A and B are shown apart, each in its own frame.
Chain A
Amino acid sequence: MMRRLEAFFEKLTGRLPIGWLQLVHNKMRFGAALAGVAFADILILMQLGFMGGLVDSIKFPYHQMSADLILSASDMNTLADGGPVPRQRMYEALAVSGVKSASPLYYGKIDWKQPDGTVRTLDTFGIDPARVTFATPEINAQLDVLKLPDMALLDRRTRNVPKAVFQRIDAGQPITFEAKGRTLTVEKLFSIGGGMTTDGYLIVSDQTFLNLFPQRAAGAPNHILLRLDAGVSRDAVAMELRQRLPGYDTAARTIDEAITKDTAYQTTQRPVGIVFGFGVAIGILVGCIIVYQVLSTDVADHIREYATFKAIGYPQSFFLGIVFEEALILAVFGFIPGVIVAMLLYALVSSVTGLPLNMTLVRAISVLIGTMAMCMISGAVATRKLARANPADLF
């Protein structure tokens, strides 16, 4: 195995792979260095995983909407914040050519008390059951049921709810629970999945919603979803709407624009997003320090040998080559266990939290390239120690 790798690196470098031989000669140091790089990669991949999970979970509800454009309060950052939009805007929007239909969307949070006393937070959408708001067939099939008071559809991916609850509902036994002083009945399920700010979703009719949130006015939903005629440009209609509707209370966005704004806000303005970004930075820093320590100690330990090679006539580029060879070996060999452990942790975290943590090829490759860059930079700093190799000192 070692011989094979040695031959492989000899092919790769076109010379005796001294960097590789030096690294494997000191197994303790090599192991510690690999563990350090793997640790840094795990840290980075976990942070990116959480960040990716956050971003994905932001997109999910948008992707289920049957809409081309979304009208929201002009100060809206996420689906959950921003003031209500005057219902009148819906009729104004419908008057714009290209707009086919519109549906209001009410948004609120309710707590679902579990038998053990803990609480699940449900992001609750109030929709007009006479109109199509979501594109999901399992929701649209239940619109008639929602017309009955206090009926609700529940997200089957709601976090930390026993599977048995959903199995019961699927088996045709409705469940009921108290919320905001009313008794909600769930006969059917749909599927979105919770994110950083919610455990799951609930869908009710606008009437039920207003009963749950009596302080909310019927004339002011949180968002208005617009569907356009086939072949009409979303951007053009969005532009037209921005001109027609008063900008101080209403903003017209395409769904993609709304997702982009929501994501940018949650990843850069909210503490969670910032913490994850910070975690990535810490991971990179830890990796750099460990790799620098290992490589500079390794250079220092071989100063006499390098001085000898200088005397033999090897140019400076040869020594830089050794250090970079070592840096890249540490990067790749540290990355492999790092990415494997991270994937195991992704699976674990996903199963525990319901957050969508997936290793994407792009993320893995980016982190590998980033690790190589990190190791190369640390290696470059470590090469400053090479200057101490002076062949005149050998005699």
Chain B
Amino acid sequence: MIDTADNSLATSTASYPIVVRDLGHWFGEDEARKQVLFDLDFAVDAGKLTVLMGASGSGKTTLLTLMGCLRRVEQGSVMLLGSELHGASEPTLVEKRRHLGFIFQAHNLHDSLTAMQNVRMGLEVHGERAMAHWQDAAAHLLSALGLQERLDYLPAKLSGGQKQRVAVARALVGNPDIVFADEPTAALDKDTGAVVVHMLKQLGRERGTTTVMVTHDNRILELADRIITLEDGRIVDDLRRP
């Protein structure tokens, strides 16, 4: 079913939303300095669901934060949506993040804001034009996630899975080019997990939204277009569905 992917980057980098080359990363200072990522080279396909796998401590989260402009690239190169992240200024990184959607392990909802208002925060960052029909957009997305009855609830009044779905809506409402998710299904219940992944796949087909997700969930692995496996900071396996 799954073939070993061709890792060569012969094709133009422009058609890939993310191109990683010779990426290395260290943590700590002096004696404690430790390399956690080694010479990574790969490109992520547009509009596809790419899954990162690997044992705990293998560097998946670190890789995700580097690609997601949440951590500075110190060695090698990450081209994200056509911009080099290595050496990019803080404002550039902030601007880049607006094209991304993050689904964290924890929901990180703002407890003073209703579900609608939390989702609104994902839209307001794009400025006034994006806000024109924010209520429709937010309500539509929350309804698609089964929260139509909970629009004006504060997080304290929502269950764990409901909160996570609000966080998903917040990540998707701004029409991100790339969605990064780190083990989101840990916090999503079974049904919601499937709903969210199907939604991401649909966005990939309809809008070309690219998803990079860290997960070990078998149900999601079945839906993945590509599975990259890390071991001690190195890519040891890269499988693409034909």
* Residues of chain A having any CB pair with chain B under 8 Å: 15-16, 18, 21-22, 24-25, 302, 304-305, 307-315, 391-392, 394-395
Contacts and interface: CB of A to CB of B under 8 A. Distances in A.
Contact of B110 (A305, A310, A313, A394): A305
B112 interface: yes
20 contacts: A15-B124, A16-B117, A16-B121, A18-B110, A21-B112, A21-B117, A305-B109, A308-B102, A308-B104, A308-B108, A311-B97, A311-B102, A312-B121, A313-B94, A313-B97, A313-B125, A391-B70, A394-B104, A395-B105, A395-B182
Nearest to A315: B94
B104 A313 contact: no
Residue of B64, B65, B170 ringed by the most chain A CB atoms within 10 A: B65
Interface of B: 61, 64-65, 68, 70-71, 91, 94-98, 100, 102, 104-106, 108-113, 117, 120-122, 124-125, 170, 174, 182
Contacts of A304: 106, 108
Contacts of B125: 309, 312-314
Contacts of A308: 102, 104, 108, 110
Given A312-B102, A312-B121, A392-B70, A302 B110 contact: yes
A382 B73 CA distance: 30
Nearest to B182: A395
Residue of B61, B71, B112, B122 ringed by the most chain A CB atoms within 10 A: B112
Contacts of A305: 108-111
A15 B124 CA distance: 7
A18 B118 CA distance: 10
A30 to B, nearest CB: 11
A393 B13 CA distance: 30
Given A18-B113, A22-B112, A391-B70, 14 more contacts: A16-B113, A18-B112, A25-B112, A305-B108, A309-B125, A310-B97, A311-B104, A312-B121, A312-B125, A312-B170, A313-B94, A313-B97, A313-B98, A395-B61
A375 to B, nearest CB: 20
A340 B109 CA distance: 39
A29 to B, nearest CB: 12
A25 B111 contact: yes
Nearest to A15: B124
Residue of B94, B105, B170, B174 ringed by the most chain A CB atoms within 10 A: B94
A321 to B, nearest CB: 12
Contacts of A311: 68, 70, 97, 102, 104
Nearest to B111: A25
A179 B132 CA distance: 83
Given A312-B125, A392-B70, A16 B120 contact: yes
B65 A392 contact: yes
A304 B120 CA distance: 18
A202 B69 CA distance: 81
Contact of A395 (B65, B112, B113, B174): B65
Nearest to B116: A16
